[in-house]
Structure 1
């Protein structure tokens, strides 16, 4: 019955030249409009999938009815769609390529819990810098290695201390820009640069916050961000950013997510 229905439609358009030309023109207009929307607005994976399904569906109709204009246009559109998808999704593909999951043994070696003393030292430094509106970006490494960032940064391998963190981020310091990576109770490096998030954020959100969110999207790291403009303190984790209003709140948050020890 379905085959008979489609055959009747095909026969109708084969015999009715005017209807065929109208359909041909409309389908061509639709694909051109879709490609314009793709170029101007849609940049997310889900939108690309929806647009791809629309193009594929109309392509099937054009081929089935042997439309002289829409058929070749849709064939070209499919190629353009594939190329555009690769270009638009390139940042996401790069993020996937950047982070390589570690083996179980490597993960166990990396999961070094930060002590209560380390958490308190970081918190003191963060809110001292907050009161002075000194920008800071402090990242705690967890299961996924941040070594690819550390290798391009300034190696320190120093014990965590309030004084050292404040000196790193002081405005005249050569290490001020970029982030600090902490592994357990050691500052692995400073001046580390991360891939910025591609999420559409408010224009007031600066590159420091975008970097903190970006690294949290592709690893299980936890990043503390101090705004240089407002002094506000935020924590980025799993692609989301949460405001920290006081020292106790930050200590509790870090203790929960970092598996601190009392040693």
Structure 2
């Protein structure tokens, strides 16, 4: 046993010394790798990556088996392959840069108490309006701000700055009215703008979904906003968030997808209590 411990000590002594900067670099690299893998998984790059892995496996097998002719061809086309990869991944790379430019990572790490969140009353008004429009098959796009501001989206539309109510939302999206085309943005308890243009997603989606759904999905891919879609063809209600599109079967399902100010405060208080109890246990 003593001999084993001595061997382990000798092995550890061969390792280079690890300082604070090394630990910091490891943490930064781990976060970067995690974000890149998460980005790849949530975009079409995941399918393309699997194709690249197959090609990499083929190249490795050719190298192991000493297939000289194939390796010679691979070396000659490697530069062109790199350029082709950049061209193929161009939409995903553009989307990643847009997200990097629009996100405030410090704000994500440190919660901002000044951010306006929708109250329970506002959420109830939104849900009521959504399903009233769904019954009449009135198409609608409702973007609800979360942590990231929607100023750029608001600037593409017409300023409203009205208190959220089901009547206001229904009137905005009524067919053949000046404001029905486009999306409305909701910040806190106010409808800030209407007829806003949203970025369209390049993701392959079902043919059952139309331009509104593609716009809602594009909004969820470039921001943390939650977007409600009412289909003009079927009256179905869907919610786009975090790059995903989900169907809301009824009011309760929709309510569970829409975070409120009160819910966030409860979650914050719960996390604070857990942190405080953990500190007390540590001191004890």
103-112 or 129-138: bigger deviation = 103-112
Question: Contact conserved, 1:137 with 1:225, CA < 8 A, in 2?
Answer: yes
Question: Which residue in the other structure is 1:85 paired with?
Answer: 85
Q: Which structure has the bigger radius of gyration?
A: 1
Q: What is the TM-score with the length of structure 2 in the denominator?
A: 0.65
Q: Does 1:210 align with 2:237?
A: no
Which consecutive residues of structure 2, in runs of 5 or more, have no partner in the other structure?
Answer: 1-43, 264-284
Question: Which residue in the other structure is 1:111 paired with?
Answer: 115
How many residue pairs get aligned? The number is 216
Give the Cα separation in 2 of the matches to 1:237 and 1:187.
19
Question: Which residue in the other structure is 1:127 paired with?
Answer: 131
130-139 or 201-210: bigger deviation = 201-210
Q: CA deviation at 1:146?
A: 2.6
Q: Does 1:178 align with 2:186?
A: no
What secondary structure does 1:139 align onto?
strand
What secondary structure does 2:240 align onto?
strand
126-135 or 176-185: bigger deviation = 176-185
Question: Which residue in the other structure is 2:53 paired with?
Answer: 50
1:141 paired residue among 139, 145, 148: 145
Question: Which residue in the other structure is 2:225 paired with?
Answer: 221
Q: Quickly say closer, same or farther: Cα 1:42–1:253, change in 2 above 3 A.
A: closer
Q: 4+ residue stretches of structure 1 with deviation over 6 A?
A: none
Q: Quickly say closer, same or farther: Cα 1:110–1:236, change in 2 above 3 A.
A: farther
What secondary structure does 2:169 align onto?
helix
Question: Contact conserved, 1:42 with 1:48, CA < 8 A, in 2?
Answer: no
Q: Quickly say closer, same or farther: Cα 1:147–1:205, change in 2 above 3 A.
A: same
Give the Cα separation in 1 of the matches to 2:61 and 2:192.
55
Q: Quickly say closer, same or farther: Cα 1:82–1:55, change in 2 above 3 A.
A: farther
Cα RMSD of the aligned pairs, angstroms, is 3.0
Question: Which residue in the other structure is 2:96 paired with?
Answer: 96
Give the Cα separation in 1 of the matches to 2:179 and 2:77.
49
Question: Which residue in the other structure is 1:74 paired with?
Answer: 74
What secondary structure does 2:142 align onto?
strand
Q: What is the TM-score with the length of structure 1 in the denominator?
A: 0.69
Question: Which residue in the other structure is 1:251 paired with?
Answer: 255
Q: CA deviation at 1:191?
A: 2.2
188-197 or 202-211: bigger deviation = 188-197
